[in-house]
A and B are shown apart, each in its own frame.
Chain A
Amino acid sequence: MTPLLELAGVTKRFHAGTPSEAVALRNITLTLAAGDFVTVIGSNGAGKSTLLKTIAGMIAPDAGTISFDGRDITHLPVYRRAATIGRIAQDPGDSTCAAMTIEENLAMAERRGMPRGLRRAVTQTARARFVAALAPIGLGLESRLGIRVVALSGGQRQALALLMATLAGARLLLLDEHLAALDPRTADIVMDLTARVVAERALTTLMVTHKMQDAIRFGNRLIMMHAGAIILDVRDDAKAALTVEALVTRFHEVGSEMTEDRVLLTT
Protein backbone atom coordinates (compact mmCIF):
# COMPACT_ATOMS: atom_id res chain seq x y z
CA MET A 1 0.00 0.00 0.00
CA THR A 2 1.27 3.45 -0.88
CA PRO A 3 1.75 5.55 2.22
CA LEU A 4 -0.38 8.72 2.26
CA LEU A 5 2.50 11.03 3.11
CA GLU A 6 6.18 10.37 2.64
CA LEU A 7 9.04 12.69 3.52
CA ALA A 8 12.51 11.63 2.38
CA GLY A 9 15.64 13.47 3.47
CA VAL A 10 13.83 16.76 4.02
CA THR A 11 16.21 19.47 5.20
CA LYS A 12 15.59 23.15 5.87
CA ARG A 13 18.08 25.78 6.98
CA PHE A 14 17.07 29.30 7.88
CA HIS A 15 19.45 32.20 7.19
CA ALA A 16 21.76 29.79 5.37
CA GLY A 17 25.28 31.11 4.95
CA THR A 18 24.95 33.78 7.64
CA PRO A 19 26.22 33.70 11.23
CA SER A 20 22.62 33.13 12.41
CA GLU A 21 22.18 30.01 10.29
CA ALA A 22 19.84 27.56 11.97
CA VAL A 23 18.97 24.06 10.87
CA ALA A 24 15.21 23.72 11.32
CA LEU A 25 14.82 20.32 9.68
CA ARG A 26 17.68 17.83 9.56
CA ASN A 27 17.29 15.08 6.99
CA ILE A 28 13.76 14.18 8.03
CA THR A 29 12.39 10.88 6.82
CA LEU A 30 8.83 10.19 7.86
CA THR A 31 6.08 7.99 6.44
CA LEU A 32 2.43 8.29 7.37
CA ALA A 33 -0.04 5.57 6.48
CA ALA A 34 -3.62 6.55 5.70
CA GLY A 35 -5.47 6.87 9.01
CA ASP A 36 -2.37 7.53 11.15
CA PHE A 37 -3.01 10.05 13.93
CA VAL A 38 0.46 11.24 14.93
CA THR A 39 1.12 13.56 17.84
CA VAL A 40 4.30 15.63 17.65
CA ILE A 41 6.16 16.92 20.69
CA GLY A 42 9.47 18.65 21.21
CA SER A 43 11.07 21.69 22.76
CA ASN A 44 10.78 25.16 21.28
CA GLY A 45 12.78 25.44 18.09
CA ALA A 46 12.81 21.67 17.58
CA GLY A 47 11.34 22.11 14.10
CA LYS A 48 7.76 20.91 14.75
CA SER A 49 6.08 23.91 13.23
CA THR A 50 8.56 24.05 10.34
CA LEU A 51 7.80 20.40 9.62
CA LEU A 52 4.06 21.09 9.31
CA LYS A 53 4.59 24.25 7.28
CA THR A 54 6.88 22.37 4.90
CA ILE A 55 4.25 19.67 4.41
CA ALA A 56 1.61 22.34 3.80
CA GLY A 57 3.83 24.06 1.23
CA MET A 58 4.39 27.29 3.15
CA ILE A 59 8.12 26.62 3.46
CA ALA A 60 10.19 25.16 0.62
CA PRO A 61 12.74 22.56 1.78
CA ASP A 62 16.40 22.98 0.79
CA ALA A 63 16.71 19.25 0.11
CA GLY A 64 14.59 16.13 0.12
CA THR A 65 11.23 15.19 -1.34
CA ILE A 66 7.64 15.16 -0.11
CA SER A 67 5.13 12.79 -1.66
CA PHE A 68 1.41 12.72 -1.10
CA ASP A 69 -0.49 9.62 -2.14
CA GLY A 70 2.41 8.60 -4.35
CA ARG A 71 2.68 11.98 -6.07
CA ASP A 72 5.69 14.27 -5.65
CA ILE A 73 4.39 17.54 -4.18
CA THR A 74 7.75 18.98 -3.05
CA HIS A 75 7.50 22.01 -5.30
CA LEU A 76 3.76 22.60 -5.36
CA PRO A 77 2.54 25.94 -3.93
CA VAL A 78 0.20 25.94 -0.91
CA TYR A 79 -2.95 26.43 -2.94
CA ARG A 80 -2.26 23.40 -5.12
CA ARG A 81 -1.88 21.14 -2.08
CA ALA A 82 -4.93 22.53 -0.36
CA ALA A 83 -7.44 20.22 -2.02
CA THR A 84 -6.25 17.39 0.21
CA ILE A 85 -4.35 19.09 3.06
CA GLY A 86 -6.04 21.15 5.79
CA ARG A 87 -4.06 23.11 8.35
CA ILE A 88 -4.93 24.95 11.54
CA ALA A 89 -2.46 27.33 13.18
CA GLN A 90 -2.03 28.27 16.81
CA ASP A 91 -3.44 31.78 16.54
CA PRO A 92 -7.25 31.66 16.22
CA GLY A 93 -6.96 34.67 13.90
CA ASP A 94 -4.98 32.73 11.30
CA SER A 95 -7.31 29.99 10.16
CA THR A 96 -10.54 31.92 9.77
CA CYS A 97 -11.40 35.26 8.18
CA ALA A 98 -12.38 37.67 10.96
CA ALA A 99 -14.10 40.31 8.84
CA MET A 100 -16.37 37.78 7.17
CA THR A 101 -19.37 35.92 8.57
CA ILE A 102 -19.48 32.33 9.79
CA GLU A 103 -21.48 31.27 6.74
CA GLU A 104 -19.11 33.06 4.37
CA ASN A 105 -16.14 31.33 5.98
CA LEU A 106 -17.83 27.95 5.70
CA ALA A 107 -18.83 28.61 2.09
CA MET A 108 -15.18 29.36 1.26
CA ALA A 109 -14.09 26.18 3.01
CA GLU A 110 -16.71 24.11 1.23
CA ARG A 111 -15.07 24.98 -2.11
CA ARG A 112 -11.67 23.76 -0.90
CA GLY A 113 -9.51 22.98 -3.90
CA MET A 114 -12.37 23.51 -6.32
CA PRO A 115 -12.63 26.19 -9.01
CA ARG A 116 -14.41 29.33 -7.83
CA GLY A 117 -16.68 31.09 -10.26
CA LEU A 118 -19.66 33.39 -10.21
CA ARG A 119 -22.00 31.02 -8.37
CA ARG A 120 -23.75 32.52 -5.35
CA ALA A 121 -21.67 31.36 -2.38
CA VAL A 122 -24.20 31.28 0.47
CA THR A 123 -27.49 29.77 -0.65
CA GLN A 124 -30.35 28.51 1.50
CA THR A 125 -29.32 24.90 0.88
CA ALA A 126 -25.74 25.78 1.86
CA ARG A 127 -27.06 27.34 5.08
CA ALA A 128 -28.92 24.13 5.85
CA ARG A 129 -25.69 22.16 5.38
CA PHE A 130 -23.79 24.59 7.64
CA VAL A 131 -26.39 24.29 10.39
CA ALA A 132 -26.16 20.50 10.16
CA ALA A 133 -22.38 20.66 10.37
CA LEU A 134 -22.25 23.20 13.23
CA ALA A 135 -24.98 21.80 15.46
CA PRO A 136 -23.04 18.70 16.64
CA ILE A 137 -20.19 20.94 17.88
CA GLY A 138 -22.50 22.18 20.58
CA LEU A 139 -21.23 25.77 20.72
CA GLY A 140 -24.44 27.32 19.42
CA LEU A 141 -22.77 28.62 16.26
CA GLU A 142 -25.52 27.14 14.08
CA SER A 143 -27.89 29.92 15.13
CA ARG A 144 -25.34 32.66 14.42
CA LEU A 145 -24.43 31.99 10.80
CA GLY A 146 -24.67 35.64 9.79
CA ILE A 147 -22.39 37.13 12.45
CA ARG A 148 -18.80 38.00 11.76
CA VAL A 149 -16.10 35.68 13.02
CA VAL A 150 -14.39 38.58 14.80
CA ALA A 151 -17.20 38.40 17.37
CA LEU A 152 -16.37 34.80 18.31
CA SER A 153 -14.16 33.64 21.17
CA GLY A 154 -10.81 31.98 20.47
CA GLY A 155 -12.27 28.53 21.18
CA GLN A 156 -15.24 29.11 18.90
CA ARG A 157 -12.92 30.30 16.17
CA GLN A 158 -10.69 27.23 16.47
CA ALA A 159 -13.75 24.97 16.41
CA LEU A 160 -14.90 26.76 13.26
CA ALA A 161 -11.38 26.45 11.82
CA LEU A 162 -11.49 22.70 12.52
CA LEU A 163 -14.77 22.41 10.68
CA MET A 164 -13.38 24.50 7.79
CA ALA A 165 -10.28 22.32 7.58
CA THR A 166 -12.31 19.12 7.41
CA LEU A 167 -15.55 20.15 5.71
CA ALA A 168 -14.52 19.22 2.19
CA GLY A 169 -11.95 16.99 0.62
CA ALA A 170 -8.99 17.23 2.99
CA ARG A 171 -7.40 13.87 3.73
CA LEU A 172 -4.47 15.10 5.78
CA LEU A 173 -5.02 17.38 8.76
CA LEU A 174 -2.13 19.45 10.12
CA LEU A 175 -2.72 20.86 13.61
CA ASP A 176 0.01 23.29 14.62
CA GLU A 177 -0.55 23.75 18.38
CA HIS A 178 -4.14 24.65 17.58
CA LEU A 179 -5.09 24.59 21.28
CA ALA A 180 -2.16 26.58 22.65
CA ALA A 181 -3.92 29.94 22.67
CA LEU A 182 -7.04 28.63 24.41
CA ASP A 183 -7.85 28.47 28.11
CA PRO A 184 -7.58 24.92 29.54
CA ARG A 185 -11.32 24.23 29.62
CA THR A 186 -11.90 25.44 26.05
CA ALA A 187 -8.79 23.59 24.91
CA ASP A 188 -10.29 20.35 26.26
CA ILE A 189 -13.57 20.96 24.43
CA VAL A 190 -11.81 21.69 21.13
CA MET A 191 -9.50 18.69 21.63
CA ASP A 192 -12.45 16.35 22.14
CA LEU A 193 -14.03 17.81 19.05
CA THR A 194 -10.77 17.30 17.14
CA ALA A 195 -10.59 13.63 18.13
CA ARG A 196 -14.22 13.15 17.13
CA VAL A 197 -13.83 14.79 13.71
CA VAL A 198 -10.59 12.93 12.97
CA ALA A 199 -12.24 9.60 13.85
CA GLU A 200 -15.48 10.32 11.98
CA ARG A 201 -13.73 11.33 8.78
CA ALA A 202 -10.85 8.86 9.15
CA LEU A 203 -8.38 11.72 8.64
CA THR A 204 -4.66 11.22 8.64
CA THR A 205 -3.45 13.71 11.21
CA LEU A 206 -0.27 15.35 12.43
CA MET A 207 -0.89 17.22 15.68
CA VAL A 208 1.79 19.35 17.29
CA THR A 209 1.09 19.84 20.96
CA HIS A 210 3.00 20.95 24.03
CA LYS A 211 0.63 19.08 26.32
CA MET A 212 2.27 15.75 27.04
CA GLN A 213 -0.96 14.14 28.26
CA ASP A 214 -2.71 15.00 25.00
CA ALA A 215 0.24 13.69 23.01
CA ILE A 216 0.02 10.38 24.87
CA ARG A 217 -3.75 10.14 25.08
CA PHE A 218 -4.65 10.91 21.48
CA GLY A 219 -3.55 9.21 18.28
CA ASN A 220 -1.88 5.92 17.46
CA ARG A 221 1.65 7.24 17.09
CA LEU A 222 3.90 9.79 18.77
CA ILE A 223 7.04 11.45 17.48
CA MET A 224 9.45 13.62 19.43
CA MET A 225 11.60 16.18 17.67
CA HIS A 226 14.81 17.79 18.80
CA ALA A 227 17.09 20.18 16.93
CA GLY A 228 15.40 19.51 13.61
CA ALA A 229 15.44 15.71 13.86
CA ILE A 230 12.95 13.03 14.87
CA ILE A 231 14.48 11.40 17.94
CA LEU A 232 11.60 9.19 19.01
CA ASP A 233 8.88 7.47 17.00
CA VAL A 234 6.59 5.12 18.90
CA ARG A 235 3.24 3.65 17.96
CA ASP A 236 0.32 1.58 19.14
CA ASP A 237 1.04 -0.44 22.30
CA ALA A 238 4.43 1.14 22.89
CA LYS A 239 2.79 4.55 22.66
CA ALA A 240 -0.05 3.55 24.95
CA ALA A 241 2.55 2.50 27.52
CA LEU A 242 4.24 5.92 27.51
CA THR A 243 4.09 8.13 30.57
CA VAL A 244 4.74 11.83 30.98
CA GLU A 245 7.70 10.95 33.21
CA ALA A 246 9.22 8.69 30.56
CA LEU A 247 8.94 11.46 27.99
CA VAL A 248 10.49 14.04 30.32
CA THR A 249 13.36 11.63 30.99
CA ARG A 250 13.81 11.23 27.28
CA PHE A 251 13.93 15.02 26.92
CA HIS A 252 16.68 15.14 29.53
CA GLU A 253 18.66 12.53 27.68
CA VAL A 254 18.82 14.65 24.55
CA GLY A 255 19.91 17.62 26.59
CA SER A 256 16.93 19.90 26.23
CA GLU A 257 17.19 22.96 28.35
CA MET A 258 14.37 21.84 30.53
CA THR A 259 14.55 24.73 32.95
CA GLU A 260 13.51 27.13 30.23
CA ASP A 261 11.12 24.83 28.53
CA ARG A 262 7.41 25.27 28.78
CA VAL A 263 7.03 21.51 28.32
CA LEU A 264 7.92 21.21 31.99
CA LEU A 265 5.36 23.74 33.05
CA THR A 266 2.48 22.02 31.33
CA THR A 267 3.07 18.39 32.21
Chain B
Amino acid sequence: MAQFQALVLNMFEQGFLFAFLGLGVLITFRFFRFPDLTAEGSYPLGGAVAAALLVEGIDPFLASFAAAGAGAVAGTITALIHTKLRINNIIAGIIAMTALYSINLRVMGKANVPLLNTPTVFSETVDGLNRFGFNLHDNVYTTIPIALVLLVAAAVLLVWFFATDLGLAVRATGQNETMIASLGVDTDRTKMVGLALSNAFIAFSGALVAQNHGFADIGMGIGILVTGAAAVLIGEAIFGDRTVAWWVLAAICGTVIYRLLVALALRVGLQPVDLRLVTAVLLLLALTVPRWRVRVLK
Protein backbone atom coordinates (compact mmCIF):
# COMPACT_ATOMS: atom_id res chain seq x y z
CA MET B 1 0.00 0.00 0.00
CA ALA B 2 2.80 2.40 0.92
CA GLN B 3 4.48 1.39 -2.30
CA PHE B 4 1.35 2.18 -4.27
CA GLN B 5 1.04 5.53 -2.54
CA ALA B 6 4.65 6.42 -3.34
CA LEU B 7 4.04 5.44 -6.95
CA VAL B 8 0.98 7.69 -7.26
CA LEU B 9 2.65 10.62 -5.51
CA ASN B 10 5.73 10.33 -7.71
CA MET B 11 3.51 10.14 -10.80
CA PHE B 12 1.75 13.42 -9.97
CA GLU B 13 4.86 15.22 -8.75
CA GLN B 14 7.05 14.36 -11.73
CA GLY B 15 4.08 14.48 -14.09
CA PHE B 16 3.14 18.04 -13.15
CA LEU B 17 6.75 19.26 -13.33
CA PHE B 18 7.32 17.67 -16.73
CA ALA B 19 3.89 18.80 -17.99
CA PHE B 20 5.34 22.23 -18.79
CA LEU B 21 7.68 20.40 -21.16
CA GLY B 22 4.65 18.63 -22.65
CA LEU B 23 2.91 21.97 -23.23
CA GLY B 24 6.01 23.40 -24.91
CA VAL B 25 6.41 20.38 -27.16
CA LEU B 26 2.68 20.51 -27.97
CA ILE B 27 3.15 23.94 -29.57
CA THR B 28 5.91 22.89 -31.95
CA PHE B 29 5.14 19.21 -32.45
CA ARG B 30 1.38 19.56 -32.87
CA PHE B 31 0.69 23.13 -33.95
CA PHE B 32 3.82 23.62 -36.04
CA ARG B 33 4.05 19.95 -37.01
CA PHE B 34 7.78 19.52 -36.63
CA PRO B 35 9.93 18.12 -33.81
CA ASP B 36 11.84 21.15 -32.49
CA LEU B 37 15.18 19.86 -31.27
CA THR B 38 15.91 23.20 -29.60
CA ALA B 39 14.16 21.53 -26.64
CA GLU B 40 17.23 19.36 -26.03
CA GLY B 41 19.14 22.57 -25.33
CA SER B 42 16.45 24.86 -23.92
CA TYR B 43 15.36 22.38 -21.24
CA PRO B 44 18.85 22.18 -19.63
CA LEU B 45 19.22 25.92 -20.36
CA GLY B 46 16.26 26.48 -18.05
CA GLY B 47 17.89 24.33 -15.39
CA ALA B 48 21.25 26.03 -15.89
CA VAL B 49 19.93 29.61 -15.74
CA ALA B 50 17.81 28.87 -12.68
CA ALA B 51 20.71 27.10 -10.94
CA ALA B 52 23.22 29.83 -11.71
CA LEU B 53 20.86 32.48 -10.38
CA LEU B 54 19.84 30.48 -7.31
CA VAL B 55 23.47 29.95 -6.36
CA GLU B 56 23.88 33.73 -6.59
CA GLY B 57 21.05 34.12 -4.09
CA ILE B 58 18.41 35.35 -6.55
CA ASP B 59 14.75 34.75 -5.63
CA PRO B 60 13.64 31.32 -6.93
CA PHE B 61 10.56 32.66 -8.71
CA LEU B 62 12.60 35.35 -10.40
CA ALA B 63 15.24 32.74 -11.31
CA SER B 64 12.57 30.41 -12.78
CA PHE B 65 10.96 33.14 -14.86
CA ALA B 66 14.41 34.25 -16.02
CA ALA B 67 14.96 30.63 -17.09
CA ALA B 68 11.71 30.80 -19.10
CA GLY B 69 12.93 34.04 -20.66
CA ALA B 70 16.21 32.40 -21.64
CA GLY B 71 14.20 29.59 -23.26
CA ALA B 72 12.19 32.16 -25.21
CA VAL B 73 15.41 33.68 -26.50
CA ALA B 74 16.67 30.23 -27.55
CA GLY B 75 13.41 29.59 -29.42
CA THR B 76 13.62 32.98 -31.09
CA ILE B 77 17.13 32.21 -32.31
CA THR B 78 16.02 28.88 -33.79
CA ALA B 79 13.16 30.70 -35.52
CA LEU B 80 15.55 33.32 -36.91
CA ILE B 81 17.91 30.62 -38.22
CA HIS B 82 14.94 28.90 -39.86
CA THR B 83 13.22 31.97 -41.34
CA LYS B 84 15.92 34.53 -42.07
CA LEU B 85 18.70 32.13 -43.10
CA ARG B 86 16.22 29.69 -44.68
CA ILE B 87 17.53 26.61 -42.92
CA ASN B 88 15.21 23.61 -42.60
CA ASN B 89 13.42 23.76 -39.24
CA ILE B 90 14.83 20.48 -37.93
CA ILE B 91 18.38 21.45 -38.87
CA ALA B 92 17.82 24.89 -37.27
CA GLY B 93 16.83 23.12 -34.05
CA ILE B 94 19.90 20.88 -34.19
CA ILE B 95 22.15 23.93 -34.65
CA ALA B 96 20.54 25.69 -31.68
CA MET B 97 20.71 22.53 -29.56
CA THR B 98 24.40 22.09 -30.35
CA ALA B 99 25.25 25.71 -29.56
CA LEU B 100 23.23 25.57 -26.35
CA TYR B 101 25.32 22.69 -25.01
CA SER B 102 28.35 24.98 -24.75
CA ILE B 103 26.25 27.91 -23.58
CA ASN B 104 24.73 25.79 -20.81
CA LEU B 105 28.19 24.75 -19.64
CA ARG B 106 29.25 28.40 -19.65
CA VAL B 107 26.14 29.40 -17.69
CA MET B 108 26.70 26.71 -15.07
CA GLY B 109 30.48 26.93 -15.05
CA LYS B 110 30.62 23.16 -14.60
CA ALA B 111 28.71 20.08 -15.68
CA ASN B 112 26.61 19.79 -12.53
CA VAL B 113 25.37 22.44 -10.10
CA PRO B 114 23.92 21.08 -6.83
CA LEU B 115 20.96 23.05 -5.43
CA LEU B 116 20.56 21.27 -2.11
CA ASN B 117 21.24 24.34 0.04
CA THR B 118 19.49 26.99 -2.04
CA PRO B 119 15.83 27.93 -1.67
CA THR B 120 13.49 26.73 -4.46
CA VAL B 121 10.09 27.91 -5.67
CA PHE B 122 8.71 25.07 -3.55
CA SER B 123 10.59 25.86 -0.31
CA GLU B 124 9.96 29.57 -0.86
CA THR B 125 6.21 29.05 -1.24
CA VAL B 126 6.10 26.76 1.82
CA ASP B 127 8.01 29.35 3.88
CA GLY B 128 5.70 32.07 2.64
CA LEU B 129 2.59 30.09 3.61
CA ASN B 130 4.06 29.21 6.99
CA ARG B 131 4.38 32.91 7.70
CA PHE B 132 0.57 33.00 7.50
CA GLY B 133 0.34 30.42 10.28
CA PHE B 134 0.49 27.20 8.27
CA ASN B 135 2.82 24.47 9.41
CA LEU B 136 3.90 22.93 6.10
CA HIS B 137 7.04 21.14 5.05
CA ASP B 138 8.82 21.21 1.72
CA ASN B 139 8.03 17.70 0.52
CA VAL B 140 6.04 15.85 -2.11
CA TYR B 141 2.72 16.79 -0.44
CA THR B 142 3.42 20.49 -0.92
CA THR B 143 5.27 20.18 -4.24
CA ILE B 144 2.26 18.58 -5.96
CA PRO B 145 -0.26 21.38 -5.20
CA ILE B 146 2.32 24.12 -5.88
CA ALA B 147 3.22 22.57 -9.24
CA LEU B 148 -0.48 22.09 -10.02
CA VAL B 149 -1.28 25.76 -9.36
CA LEU B 150 1.57 26.85 -11.65
CA LEU B 151 0.45 24.33 -14.26
CA VAL B 152 -3.17 25.48 -14.23
CA ALA B 153 -1.98 29.07 -14.63
CA ALA B 154 0.19 28.02 -17.58
CA ALA B 155 -2.66 26.03 -19.18
CA VAL B 156 -5.09 28.94 -18.83
CA LEU B 157 -2.48 31.27 -20.34
CA LEU B 158 -1.99 28.97 -23.34
CA VAL B 159 -5.70 28.42 -23.98
CA TRP B 160 -6.31 32.17 -23.71
CA PHE B 161 -3.39 32.99 -26.01
CA PHE B 162 -4.44 30.56 -28.72
CA ALA B 163 -7.88 32.17 -28.84
CA THR B 164 -6.52 35.67 -29.53
CA ASP B 165 -5.94 37.17 -32.99
CA LEU B 166 -2.20 36.55 -32.67
CA GLY B 167 -2.77 33.05 -31.26
CA LEU B 168 -4.97 32.04 -34.19
CA ALA B 169 -2.34 33.37 -36.60
CA VAL B 170 0.36 31.33 -34.84
CA ARG B 171 -1.76 28.16 -35.07
CA ALA B 172 -2.62 28.79 -38.71
CA THR B 173 1.07 29.31 -39.51
CA GLY B 174 1.71 25.69 -38.60
CA GLN B 175 -1.38 24.42 -40.39
CA ASN B 176 -1.51 26.41 -43.63
CA GLU B 177 1.27 28.94 -43.99
CA THR B 178 0.33 30.04 -47.52
CA MET B 179 -3.22 30.81 -46.44
CA ILE B 180 -2.36 32.83 -43.35
CA ALA B 181 0.31 34.78 -45.28
CA SER B 182 -2.34 35.61 -47.87
CA LEU B 183 -4.37 37.15 -45.03
CA GLY B 184 -1.54 39.54 -44.26
CA VAL B 185 0.37 37.68 -41.57
CA ASP B 186 4.17 37.84 -41.50
CA THR B 187 4.79 34.16 -40.85
CA ASP B 188 8.44 34.76 -39.93
CA ARG B 189 7.10 36.64 -36.95
CA THR B 190 4.43 34.11 -35.94
CA LYS B 191 7.00 31.30 -36.13
CA MET B 192 9.18 33.32 -33.79
CA VAL B 193 6.30 33.83 -31.36
CA GLY B 194 5.43 30.11 -31.42
CA LEU B 195 8.99 28.90 -30.94
CA ALA B 196 9.69 31.47 -28.21
CA LEU B 197 6.56 30.45 -26.32
CA SER B 198 7.31 26.74 -26.73
CA ASN B 199 10.88 26.98 -25.50
CA ALA B 200 9.91 29.28 -22.63
CA PHE B 201 7.62 26.52 -21.33
CA ILE B 202 10.31 23.89 -21.89
CA ALA B 203 12.99 25.94 -20.09
CA PHE B 204 10.57 26.64 -17.23
CA SER B 205 10.07 22.89 -16.91
CA GLY B 206 13.84 22.43 -16.76
CA ALA B 207 14.09 25.08 -14.04
CA LEU B 208 11.37 23.42 -11.92
CA VAL B 209 12.79 19.91 -12.37
CA ALA B 210 16.29 21.09 -11.43
CA GLN B 211 14.92 22.66 -8.24
CA ASN B 212 12.88 19.55 -7.44
CA HIS B 213 15.73 17.11 -8.12
CA GLY B 214 18.27 19.28 -6.30
CA PHE B 215 20.69 19.83 -9.17
CA ALA B 216 21.06 21.10 -12.71
CA ASP B 217 23.05 18.86 -15.00
CA ILE B 218 24.44 19.37 -18.49
CA GLY B 219 23.00 15.99 -19.51
CA MET B 220 19.46 16.58 -18.25
CA GLY B 221 18.17 17.49 -21.73
CA ILE B 222 19.30 14.36 -23.55
CA GLY B 223 16.27 12.64 -25.04
CA ILE B 224 13.93 15.25 -23.58
CA LEU B 225 12.20 16.00 -26.88
CA VAL B 226 11.23 12.37 -27.25
CA THR B 227 9.94 12.39 -23.68
CA GLY B 228 7.80 15.45 -24.44
CA ALA B 229 6.59 14.03 -27.72
CA ALA B 230 5.72 10.72 -26.05
CA ALA B 231 3.67 12.61 -23.45
CA VAL B 232 1.84 14.63 -26.12
CA LEU B 233 1.14 11.53 -28.20
CA ILE B 234 -0.03 9.43 -25.24
CA GLY B 235 -2.41 12.25 -24.33
CA GLU B 236 -3.66 12.47 -27.88
CA ALA B 237 -4.04 8.70 -28.20
CA ILE B 238 -6.29 8.68 -25.13
CA PHE B 239 -8.12 11.99 -25.47
CA GLY B 240 -8.28 12.34 -29.25
CA ASP B 241 -7.92 15.61 -31.08
CA ARG B 242 -10.53 18.38 -30.61
CA THR B 243 -10.05 21.93 -29.34
CA VAL B 244 -6.99 23.77 -28.03
CA ALA B 245 -8.20 23.42 -24.43
CA TRP B 246 -8.64 19.69 -25.00
CA TRP B 247 -5.15 19.41 -26.48
CA VAL B 248 -3.65 21.25 -23.51
CA LEU B 249 -5.48 18.95 -21.10
CA ALA B 250 -4.38 15.92 -23.14
CA ALA B 251 -0.72 17.03 -23.05
CA ILE B 252 -0.88 17.43 -19.25
CA CYS B 253 -2.61 14.10 -18.67
CA GLY B 254 -0.33 12.46 -21.23
CA THR B 255 2.71 13.58 -19.25
CA VAL B 256 1.27 12.27 -15.98
CA ILE B 257 0.44 8.93 -17.59
CA TYR B 258 3.88 8.79 -19.16
CA ARG B 259 5.47 9.26 -15.73
CA LEU B 260 3.25 6.51 -14.34
CA LEU B 261 4.30 4.12 -17.10
CA VAL B 262 7.96 4.94 -16.48
CA ALA B 263 7.53 4.41 -12.72
CA LEU B 264 5.74 1.10 -13.39
CA ALA B 265 8.52 -0.01 -15.71
CA LEU B 266 11.03 0.59 -12.91
CA ARG B 267 8.75 -1.19 -10.45
CA VAL B 268 8.56 -4.36 -12.53
CA GLY B 269 12.33 -4.68 -12.44
CA LEU B 270 13.65 -2.65 -15.36
CA GLN B 271 16.73 -0.58 -14.55
CA PRO B 272 17.19 3.18 -15.11
CA VAL B 273 19.50 2.30 -18.00
CA ASP B 274 16.48 0.71 -19.73
CA LEU B 275 14.35 3.86 -19.56
CA ARG B 276 15.24 5.16 -23.00
CA LEU B 277 14.15 1.85 -24.45
CA VAL B 278 10.90 2.10 -22.50
CA THR B 279 10.35 5.65 -23.79
CA ALA B 280 10.99 4.53 -27.36
CA VAL B 281 8.49 1.67 -27.03
CA LEU B 282 5.90 3.97 -25.45
CA LEU B 283 6.36 6.47 -28.28
CA LEU B 284 5.92 3.71 -30.83
CA LEU B 285 2.76 2.48 -29.09
CA ALA B 286 1.32 6.00 -28.82
CA LEU B 287 1.85 6.40 -32.56
CA THR B 288 0.39 3.07 -33.63
CA VAL B 289 -2.37 2.26 -31.12
CA PRO B 290 -4.72 5.07 -32.30
CA ARG B 291 -4.55 3.56 -35.78
CA TRP B 292 -5.66 0.16 -34.48
CA ARG B 293 -8.51 1.82 -32.64
CA VAL B 294 -9.76 3.44 -35.83
CA ARG B 295 -9.57 0.13 -37.64
CA VAL B 296 -11.54 -1.65 -34.92
CA LEU B 297 -14.22 1.04 -34.94
CA LYS B 298 -14.57 0.80 -38.69
Binding site for B on A (CB under 8 A): 56, 58, 77-80, 82-83, 86-87, 93-100, 104, 107-109, 111-114, 116-122, 164
Contacts and interface: CB of A to CB of B under 8 A. Distances in A.
22 contacts: A56-B182, A77-B181, A77-B186, A79-B182, A83-B184, A87-B182, A95-B182, A97-B172, A97-B180, A98-B176, A100-B171, A100-B172, A100-B175, A107-B165, A108-B165, A108-B172, A109-B183, A112-B183, A114-B184, A118-B165, A121-B167, A121-B168
Contact of A120 (B163, B169, B181): B163
Interface in B162-220: 163-169, 171-172, 175-176, 178-187
Contacts, number: 86
Most buried by A among B161, B181, B183: B183
Contacts of A97: 171-172, 175-176, 179-180
Contacts of B165: 107-108, 111, 116-119, 121
A78 B182 contact: yes
Interface of B: 161, 163-169, 171-172, 175-176, 178-187
B181 A82 contact: yes
A119 B164 contact: yes
B164 A120 contact: yes
A100 B168 contact: yes
The binding surface of chain A is classed by DSSP as loop
Contacts of A96: 176, 179
B182 A82 contact: yes
A52 B171 CA distance: 27
A98 B175 contact: yes
Given A97-B175, A98-B175, A121-B164, A108 B169 contact: yes
A158 to B, nearest CB: 13
A118 B176 contact: no
B186 A79 contact: yes
Contacts of A113: 183-184
A54 B184 CA distance: 16
B296 to A, nearest CB: 22
Contacts of B176: 93-94, 96-98
A105 to B, nearest CB: 8
Contact of A117 (B163, B164, B182): B164
A99 B175 contact: yes
